[in-house]
Chains A and B, each alone.
Chain A
Amino acid sequence: MKIQVLGTGCPKCKQLVENAKKAFPEAKVEKVEDIDKILEAGVMMTPALVVDGKVVSSGKVLSPDDIKKLVK
C-alpha cells in the first residue's frame, strides 16, 4: 500500500503525515509538496490523503483511527 499526503507544508499537513504513520507503521508515507502535483490529483484543500493513487480525503486532519477506517 502506498500512502501520500498532499500539502504545501503547513502544520496541518505535517500532523496528517504523523497520523498516517501512526495508523500504518509499516506502510510508506510520502509527502507531496509540489503544487502542480497536488493540482493534478484534483485536490481542492490541503492536506489531502491519497491511498494507492486515489484521493480519499481532503481539507482535513484525520486521526489515525479515521485513516484506518477510510482505508479498509
Chain B
Amino acid sequence: MTDIWFQALGSGIAALGDYLWAHVLTCLIPAFFIAGAMVALLPKEIITKRLGSKVPIYKAYPLAVGAALFLAVCSCTILPLFAGIKKKGAGIGPAIAFLYTAPATNVLAVTLTGSVIGWDFAFFRIILSVSFAILIGIIISRLFREEEKKEEKELASDHVKVPKNHYKKLLMFFVTLFTILIVGAAGIRLDVKAGGMLALIAFLVLQLRLGFTKDEIHNWLNETKMFFKMIFPLLLVGVFAAGVLTALIPENFLGTYVGTNTLLPTLAAVLFGVFMYFPTLVEVPMAKMFLGLGMAKGPLLAYLLADPVISLPTILVVRKIMGGQRTLVYVLLIILFTTISGLLYGSLVS
C-alpha cells in the first residue's frame, strides 16, 4: 500500500519538476511581468476616450476587443469601464465585446494556457473568445435597438492626464518585454537564448533608468508581485495534484462524469464556469487539474472559454447596468456559444 503512495508522490514531484524546468523560467516569469506592466502603466482612461459616440461601428468593435487584449483583469474589475463605454457613446455592442474579451483573453492568459495546458488550447481560446465577443455584441445591440437610444449620460472621468511622450516610451517598453517573452519561449540554442535574454534585460533596465519614475517602477513591480502571489501557488498545487492523482487513480475520477466529448459533460463544464467566481487566470490551474482528473478535451475547452468571462457576482452587477433582459440574453449566448465550441472541438480531437 505504501508503495502506491510513494509512487504517487514521486509522480507529483516529477510532474512539478518537468513543469518548472520547461516553462516557468523562460515563459511564465516574463508573462507575469507583462501583466503587471499592463495593469500598472497603461492609462485605462484612454479606452473610453477612444470609444466615444463618434466612433464608427466598424472601428469600435476592433478597438474594444484590441483594448481588452491588453488588460489582465477579472470579470468584476472592469465593470465600471464597461458601463463607461456603454454610457459614453460607443454603445452597448462594443461595450459588450469589451466586457467579454477583457477577462476572457489577454497576453498572460494565452501564455499561461499555452504553457500549462497546450498551445492548441491557447490558440482556440484567443480566436474563439474574440469572435464570440464581437458576435454577442452585435446580436445584443441588434435585438435591443430601441432601448439603446435612451441612454446618453456623460461620464466624468478625466482625473488622469497622460503626458504626450508617455506612449512612445510605453511602446518601446512593451515591445522589449514581448521580445523577452518570445525569445524565452523560442526553441533555440541555449547559449544564444541566454545571451539574447541578458542583452534584452539590460536594455529594459536602461529604459527604466531613463524614462520611468520611481513610482511607476514601484507600481509595476507591485502588480507583478500580486499576480505572481495569486496564481503561482495555485499553479504549483494544480500541477502537483494532477501528477499525484493520475498515479493514484488510473481510471480517472472525473472521467466517469465529464470524460466524454458529449453534450451533457460539456454543458456541465460550461455552467460550472459561468456561475463560479475565480480571480482572473485562476481558471488555468483549475483546468490543468480537471485535465489531470480525466476531463475530456471538449468540455475542458468549453470550461476554459466560459469561466473567466462571467460569474454570478458579475451577472448581478451587469444586470443593474444593462437590465435583466439583455443580461439574460448575454448569459444564454455565452452558454450556447461555449457549449457548441466545446462540442466541435471535442469531435475534432476524438
A contact residues vs B (CB 8 Å cutoff): 7-12, 35-36, 38-39, 42-47, 55, 58-61, 63, 66
Q: When the two chains form their complex, are residues A35 and B317 in contact, meaning their CB atoms are under 8 A apart?
A: yes
CB distance from A53 to the nearest CB of B (A): 12
Q: When the two chains form their complex, are residues A39 and B76 in contact, meaning their CB atoms are under 8 A apart?
A: no
Dominant secondary structure of chain A at its interface with chain B: loop
Q: How many Å lie between the Cα of A35 and that of B39 in the bound state?
A: 21
15 A-B pairs, CB-CB below 8 angstroms?
Answer: A8-B317, A9-B76, A9-B313, A10-B76, A12-B77, A35-B80, A35-B321, A39-B83, A42-B155, A45-B44, A55-B159, A59-B44, A60-B40, A63-B222, A66-B222
Residues of B within 8 A of A61 (CB): 226
List of 3 A-B pairs having minimum Cβ-Cβ separation, nearest first: A42-B157, A10-B76, A42-B156
CB distance from A62 to the nearest CB of B (A): 8
Q: Does B148 lie at the interface of the complex (its beta carbon under 8 Å from any beta carbon of A)?
A: no
Q: Does B161 lie at the interface of the complex (its beta carbon under 8 Å from any beta carbon of A)?
A: no
Q: When the two chains form their complex, are residues A46 and B48 in contact, meaning their CB atoms are under 8 A apart?
A: no
B147-161 near A? 1/0 per residue, CB < 8 Å? 000000001111100
A46/B219 contact (C-beta < 8 A), A35-B320, A39-B155 known:
no
Residues of B within 8 A of A63 (CB): 222
Chain B residue nearest to A36 (CB atoms) is: B320
Residues of A within 8 A of B45 (CB): 44
Chain B residue nearest to A10 (CB atoms) is: B76
